[in-house]
Amino acid sequence: MFIETTHFGKIEIDQADILNFEEGIIGFEDVKQFGIIDSEDPESPFKWIQAIDKPELAFALVDPFKIKKDYDFDLKDEAVEYLGVKDASELMVFSIVVVPEDIKKISMNLKAPLIINRTNNKAAQIILDTDKYTVRHFILDELQKQEV
């Protein structure tokens, strides 16, 4: 299927790859279907998630495990059941990225990751029941810590 988007122009998303967020994404609960757009750079940890029915709505994503090596959480049983997870290998985890004018302040939301079941395309934004992570975790700060 082809969709016309504000940020990427006309793109093709395979119907079988459309993600279904039954409860939407926080702040956008009315938007239920999204497609993932890979970065043109295969080495980049970033991707995009594009709303199917809202051409102007797209979020930058990152695999949080590639940035914060010790990122870890337990998925509650309700979320496992809701997503229809049979094995952890079915899951993809992303954090929504905020890219402000001052690029040094680029951050990712570790408190409420997007969890996607690749086998059935069910997806949800899950708010983790922990104070260990925040909604604004600065990516460059994290990468600098790893260099030390």
Global pTM reads 0.93
pLDDT at 39: 87
Q: How many alpha carbons fall within 13 Å on the CB side of residue 66?
A: 12
Sequence spans of domains, the chain: 2-147
Sign of CA dihedral 54, 126, 15, 49: positive
What is the per-residue pLDDT across 69-106, written as a single tens digit (0 to 9) for each? 999 999 999 999 999 999 999 999 999 999 999 999 99
Task: Report which DSSP code applies to 88.
Answer: G
Question: Which of 16-30, 77-91, 112-126, 134-148 is least confident?
Answer: 134-148
Phi, psi of 136 (to 5 degrees): -130, 85
d(CA 49, CA 46): 10
Q: Does domain 2-147 have CATH number 3.90.180.10?
A: no
